[in-house]
Chains A and B, each alone.
Chain A
Amino acid sequence: MAKTLYEQLGGEAAVNAAVDIFYRKMLSDDRVSRFFEGVDMDRQASKQKAFLTMVFGGPNNYSGKDMYEGHKHLLKMGLNDSHVDAVIENLGNTLKELGVGNDLIGQVAAIANSVRDDVLGRGH
């Protein structure tokens, strides 16, 4: 049987390897860091893990509605397409640092893109 994207990336170990790098990039990125301020870092880190597991194609039960609900407080802070782009860019750079090939990075970006409308509250 063909390996899933999640398996090809290395599963949970890959998420664990990526979370520090990705979260550090997000916090140091002036475009998006303000969305992550004021939240306890440990709590935030497990949310980042949830994010990474999801976009790596791993096990999760998030619905589009969950994604909308989870981000709608950020819409009030001005969340828009440019921020989703920044997230996807940081995600790609994280994976590059971990030696992941462009093909898989593209698949990850596609999953992130597929929930763009939900995250930005379009259609809700």
Chain B
Amino acid sequence: MSKLTFDGIAYNRTAEESVLDCLTRHGVVVPNSCRSGICQSCMLRAVSDDPPAAAQKGLKETQKEQRYFLACSCIPSGDFEATSELPQLTRTSAQVRAVEKISPAIARVRLDYSRPFDYRPGQFLNLYRPDGLIRTYSIASVPQFEDFIELHVQRTEQGRMSRWVHEELKSGDLVHISAPLGECYYRPGNTEQPILMVGTGSGLAPLYGVLRDALRAKHSAPIWLYHGSRTRDGLYLIDELRSLAREYENFRYFPCLSRESGYEAFLAARANDAALTEHKNLKGWRVFIAGHADMVGATKKRVFLAGASLGDIHSDAFLLARN
């Protein structure tokens, strides 16, 4: 018998029993289907020990690194602790260093944070307002370059958090943030692989983080960034991106406007349309997509049909802003 701790409660586990079988025997409901490590419906996360390799077969590298595993295929060699909780539920406090409007629609929030806090540029976190309101934002900063965490908050009419950030949040204020989460980040290696990035609105935040991380890692293949907005107000960091494009000959930047025309400097198209018109064959490419959920879903499908492998498509899907 060994001990299996799940969401804080300890259970007896026999030596041959999988985590799924053990929990099921004790009446704990874990979603499952194939019970043979394929359908991934039984995915859980190990708390601190690395799960056995057999329990991570078929998962994305980014999931493996975060200790996700399949309960039905996980037979630990001894005591083991797992959780169904999402890692962002741990909170730490952070202090606002600065809030600046970098376009009429976008506020750039920079936070001082306490270490250890390991994040990858492009991951996302929850931002907690003192009264309990929670929203998810992607991280635009790169820890090797910046000693703060940078978030981009897009103002929306009904957005309670975004209006508060734009109108009230100021330097010195204390907020709470969750641990970082998500797999929309640059994994080193394969520097010969071309990269396509498509983002709308503040979806530029993770892409800006991933881009600079990739350039820092000396990614040598072309990197194409299409950033779209309906109107001019939503385009931002234009000068910074243009200057990166001048500095790195493999980086190309295309700001796109879908509802406003008459600007010579911008493509008059949606970002995803512009990207897919230019790149019809994405076989072998790495793709990053961020922004509005409908755009992300539709673009994922289009880039997949254009030849990108599922394992090479990374997107920020803000599904996890749970209480």
- Which A residues are closer than 8 A to B by beta carbons? 12, 16, 19-20, 23-24, 27-28, 40-43, 45-47, 49-50, 53, 59-62, 66, 70
B104 within 8 A of A: no
Instruction: Please tell me which one of the listed residues B34, B301, B305, B317 contacts residue A62 in the complex, with CB atoms under 8 A apart.
Output: B34
B78 within 8 A of A: no
Are A70 and B310 in touch, CB under 8 angstroms? no
Known: A19-B310, A50-B33, A62-B34. A41 touches B304 (CB 8 A): yes
Interface flags, B35-47, vs A, CB<8A=1, else 0: 1111111000000
Query: In the docked arrangement, what's the CA distance between A70 and B317, Å?
Result: 25
Query: In the docked arrangement, what's the CA distance between A67 and B41, Å?
Result: 15
Of all chain A residues, which has the CB nearest B59?
Answer: A46
Query: In the docked arrangement, what's the CA distance between A59 and B34, Å?
Result: 9
Known: A20-B310, A27-B301. A59 touches B58 (CB 8 A): no
For the complex, would chain A's binding face be called helix, strand, loop or mixed by DSSP majority? helix
Are B310 and A61 in touch, CB under 8 angstroms? no
B110 within 8 A of A: no
Are A46 and B300 in touch, CB under 8 angstroms? no
B309 within 8 A of A: yes
Residues of B within 8 A of A66 (CB): 33
B57 within 8 A of A: yes
What are 22 contact pairs spanning A and B, CB under 8 A?
A: A12-B57, A16-B58, A19-B310, A20-B309, A20-B310, A27-B301, A27-B304, A28-B305, A41-B297, A41-B300, A41-B301, A41-B304, A41-B313, A43-B40, A46-B39, A46-B58, A49-B58, A50-B38, A53-B34, A60-B36, A61-B34, A70-B33
Query: In the docked arrangement, what's the CA distance between A98 and B38, Å?
Result: 21
Beyond A19-B310, A41-B300, A46-B41, 9 additional pairs, beta carbon < 8 A = A12-B57, A23-B310, A41-B297, A41-B301, A41-B304, A45-B310, A53-B38, A59-B37, A61-B34
Are A49 and B304 in touch, CB under 8 angstroms? no
Residues of B within 8 A of A61 (CB): 34-36
Of all chain B residues, which has the CB nearest A61?
Answer: B35
Residues of A within 8 A of B305 (CB): 24, 27-28
- B37-72 residues with Cβ-Cβ distance < 8 A to A are 37-41, 57-58
Residues of A within 8 A of B310 (CB): 19-20, 23, 41-42, 45
- B8-53 residues with Cβ-Cβ distance < 8 A to A are 33-41
Residues of A within 8 A of B33 (CB): 50, 62, 66, 70
Known: A42-B310, A61-B34. A47 touches B304 (CB 8 A): no
Known: A49-B39, A50-B39. A60 touches B34 (CB 8 A): yes
Are A47 and B301 in touch, CB under 8 angstroms? no
Of all chain B residues, which has the CB nearest A38?
Answer: B297
Interface flags, B107-122, vs A, CB<8A=1, else 0: 0000000000000000
Of all chain A residues, which has the CB nearest B37?
Answer: A59
Residues of B within 8 A of A43 (CB): 40
Are B301 and A49 in touch, CB under 8 angstroms? no
